[in-house]
Amino acid sequence: MSLVDLPLLPLGKGRDLTAERGVECLGDLPAASDPDLVARAIAAKEALGERVFVLGHHYQRDEVIQFADVTGDSFKLARDAAARPAAEFIVFCGVHFMAESADILTSDDQAVILPDLSAGCSMADMARLSQVEDAWDAMAAAGLQDNIVPVTYMNSSADIKAFCGRNGGVVCTSSNADVALEWAFDQKADVEGGGKVLFFPDQHLGRNTAVLKMGMTLDDCVVWNPLLPGGGLSVEQLQGAKMILWKGHCSVHGRFTTDVIDELRAKHEGIHILVHPECTHEVVLKADLVGSTEFIIKTIEAAEPGSTWAIGTELNLVQRLADAHPDKNIVFLDRNVCYCSTMNRIDLPHFVWAMESLVRGEVVNQIDVDDETEAHALVALQRMLDLPGKSHRD
């Protein structure tokens, strides 16, 4: 396997602008030690006025989130951007797939800017279009072409969303994954052999939803490993499965362990364990509550003063919740400090550089999804928007 074929480019080095992976950011950045960075960011934002709309994902650093006009999860932010057609520039403080979704949902007149192009997402990188197409072909060869519906998590590149749009599939968030799965199985209810879902890129969200919300068993789930011939599965395994889970995971949420949960329960009587469904199945089983970032925020807001919480999600958000709720005891569900390294790539120097470039009339780091991909991805996103009930949050 050549370096180019590696699913991840180490430390964001190299150039591959068509992939979700990190790439080098070639901007002429101000020094991180510049004491005027905050003042420069304020001045640039004032100079741009209503022409710019700054989005900040919950996992962003404080130094950046302070400049966000709105904060939220990826889908909320993309929808917020679409609701601001007067904003010429959408500066997305988040990662690449999020900026792509914002570009898909906003008008052609709006430019979506990612302050650092090296802010990719390792989970989204784990499902690349050529790999997914190979898997699809293998499943067709196993006689399953009429049975499978592809379902992709919001945390995937635009071409994967487009693949779902082209092939009768749907996008989901961590809040509506169960509704999306129900919809997918309904599409194939009358097909001989029943329906199956190919779920990517996060095996944990797929498994947790299938088993804990849909009543399936672990035996109903198989894992497709894109690095193995035939996904590492026999035809019989594919035919017997209801959920074919892509072997992908979040490097941040995959760190939380049951050992730490046991340790914290022993140390703090009455502690509540609150985790995101991107955590492993074992961790989710041991937790008290599981839900999206918005669910985590609302749960902490509504918690009793004096209550104790261990939260299993990205550390920037956990720290911000702890700061915002000093009357509650909030700890991180990991022994080590571990941020999402790609989210953290959007820092103040990149933000200032992107904003000052816009003030000079120079649009830098624009994320522009091609028309064909956008059209197909919109089909899958629209199917999600048409799902009954539930808010569409991740």
Can you say which residues are annotated as belonging to the binding site? 57, 74, 121, 153-155, 174, 250, 276-278, 293, 340
CA–CA distance, 62 with 33 (Å, rounded to integer): 16
Smallest separation, CB 283 to ligand SF4 (Å): 15
Beta bridge partners of 222: 244
Q: Please answer whether residues 148 and 185 qualify as being in contact, where contact means their C-beta atoms are separated by less than 8 angstroms.
A: no
Cis peptide before 201 (omega within 30 of 0): yes
Q: β-strand 89-93 against 70-72: which pairing, if any?
A: unpaired
Please enumerate, by residue number, every residue annotated as part of a binding site for [4Fe-4S] cluster: 121, 250, 340
Q: Is 250 among the residues that bind ligand SF4 (CB under 6 A)?
A: yes
> Closer CB to ligand SF4, residue 174 or residue 365?
174
Residues 123-162, interacting with ligand SF4 (CB under 6 A): 123, 155
Residues 305-344, interacting with ligand SF4 (CB under 6 A): 314, 340, 342-343
Give how far Cα 296 sits from Cα of 272, 318, 370, Å.
12, 9, 35
Q: Please answer whether residues 311 and 318 qualify as being in contact, where contact means their C-beta atoms are separated by less than 8 angstroms.
A: yes
CA–CA distance, 307 with 301 (Å, rounded to integer): 11
Residues 25-84, interacting with ligand SF4 (CB under 6 A): 59
Q: Is 121 among the residues that bind ligand SF4 (CB under 6 A)?
A: yes
Identified binder of ligand SF4 from the candidate list 122, 176, 209, 292, rule CB under 6 A: 122
> Closer CB to ligand SF4, residue 48 or residue 384?
384
> Closer CB to ligand SF4, residue 147 or residue 174?
174
Using the structure block, give the residue that is written with the tokens 């784990």.
Answer: 126
Q: Is 252 among the residues that bind ligand SF4 (CB under 6 A)?
A: yes
> Closer CB to ligand SF4, residue 41 or residue 343?
343
Identified binder of ligand SF4 from the candidate list 237, 251, 258, 329, rule CB under 6 A: 251
Q: Is 113 among the residues that bind ligand SF4 (CB under 6 A)?
A: no
DSSP 170-226: EEE-TTTHHHHHHHHHHHTTTSTT--EEEEES-HHHHHHIIIIIS---GGGEEEE-T
Binding site for ligand SF4 (CB under 6 A): 59, 95, 121-123, 155, 250-252, 314, 340, 342-343
